[in-house]
Structure 1
């Protein structure tokens, strides 16, 4: 696992982002200090991301708790030792249970090597992860950010980020995935910090803690 950026690195990157893209300055000014979203990596981290997708935060926590308790130890071997119906008994959909088997099989067969992911550049790492059935680009990019500490990835398919980008640019329509990736190019080599900043800003606005200001002249 790569080392996640600390407070001073995040602060420096935020300042650099606001300087290179004045439109991002409002988000920077309004968003409090935040920490990197570090999570457990390896097989466990990827399985958890699959388990928690497309459900509420509360449901995700409850289902993951049942999966973890049911497996005893979250390993590829333990997942493969259980059939789909048993995994569904932990609260997983049939599709997620099958994807869990796919990830476990990929590790068991050596098609993915979590211990040596750091040796791959970002593009190669995304390609290795998305080669596993059930692992899409968003999942691969967020796993590499949260679980492997990579700081220059930007999950352009994330709807919250797209909406925050719409606010940044005072646009009527939020960008699509392709447009979001292109828009984020200016934020290199701190695209991961930009994503965290926009997530923090978006969450603050949605919770009513941050008020969007009038467009700058």
Structure 2
């Protein structure tokens, strides 16, 4: 499971002692709520189905698929579903292909979600070997579903925007710059990523808490 409220608070307090800009950000918007997802296949399938669509649309597809094929926590359900059924539930041809790829990887044992490598980069490598799972999706899974404390999705636009905003940069830093800056924030980068999303959601005019 993901980082809980106590873990987030401890990590962010530690970062605030290193970087005054983070202390000011915490004073302005407060601590973020935990972002916790179930560990396993169903969460990754939801991630694939939610790519490039709204949360509302993704939830609608999930409900329709569940009605049409049954328990989506079982990869055999997707493996057995026809293309016609997947399309009728709202899956594009591409997403249907990605969903099948994930189901096949889990059923074949090529991807064991109960035994991903302890090394974060090795775990990301295994996840991104599945068609349809990019680095961002892999990082978010490891952060939200496994609670890995030092995951740093530097390619995320909101993370880049808020790192720049918090540190007072005139322009949004690049992924490369954000990745380099974050070396100083190990081993708490996962909590900081969650805080940047929280800070982004609060907007530029957030009042102090």
Using the size of structure 2 for normalisation, the TM-score is: 0.91
Q: Give the alignment of 1:121-136 within 5 angstroms.
A: 121-136=119-134
Shift of 1:165: 1.3
Measure, in 2, the Cα distance between the counterparts of 1:122 and 1:78.
30
Shift of 1:81: 0.1
Measure, in 2, the Cα distance between the counterparts of 1:114 and 1:66.
25
Shift of 1:211: 5.2
Contact between 1:52 and 1:64, CA under 8 Å: does it hold in 2? no
State whether structure 2 residue 116 is matched by structure 1 residue 113: no
1:137 equivalent in structure 2 = 135
2:173 equivalent in structure 1 = 175
Measure, in 2, the Cα distance between the counterparts of 1:40 and 1:6.
13
The secondary structure found in structure 2 opposite 1:35 is coil
Measure, in 1, the Cα distance between the counterparts of 2:68 and 2:148.
31
Aligned pair count reads: 207
Q: CA-to-partner distance for each residue in 1:133-192, whole Å, 9 max, x for gaps? A: 111100000011111111110111111111111201222321222222222222111111
Contact between 1:21 and 1:186, CA under 8 Å: does it hold in 2? no
From the superposition, tell whether residues 70 and 172 of structure 1 become closer, same or farther in structure 2 (CA, over 3 Å).
farther
Contact between 1:66 and 1:90, CA under 8 Å: does it hold in 2? yes
Using the size of structure 1 for normalisation, the TM-score is: 0.88
2:80 equivalent in structure 1 = 81
Measure, in 1, the Cα distance between the counterparts of 2:156 and 2:69.
30
Contact between 1:27 and 1:198, CA under 8 Å: does it hold in 2? no
Contact between 2:49 and 2:91, CA under 8 Å: does it hold in 1? yes
Contact between 1:154 and 1:192, CA under 8 Å: does it hold in 2? yes
Shift of 1:27: 1.8
**Which segment is superposed worse, 96-105 or 83-92?**
83-92
Q: CA-to-partner distance for each residue in 1:98-139, whole Å, 9 max, x for gaps? A: 10001111111111001212x532111111101111111000
1:215 equivalent in structure 2 = none
**Which segment is superposed worse, 77-86 or 41-50?**
77-86
State whether structure 2 residue 191 is matched by structure 1 residue 193: yes
Shift of 1:33: 3.0
| Unaligned stretches of 5+ residues in structure 1 | 213-217
1:152 equivalent in structure 2 = 150
1:41 equivalent in structure 2 = 39
2:69 equivalent in structure 1 = 71
Contact between 2:78 and 2:99, CA under 8 Å: does it hold in 1? yes
| Unaligned stretches of 5+ residues in structure 2 | none
Measure, in 2, the Cα distance between the counterparts of 1:4 and 1:94.
31
**Aligned-residue RMSD, C-alpha:** 1.8
Shift of 1:198: 0.8
**Which segment is superposed worse, 133-142 or 20-29?**
20-29
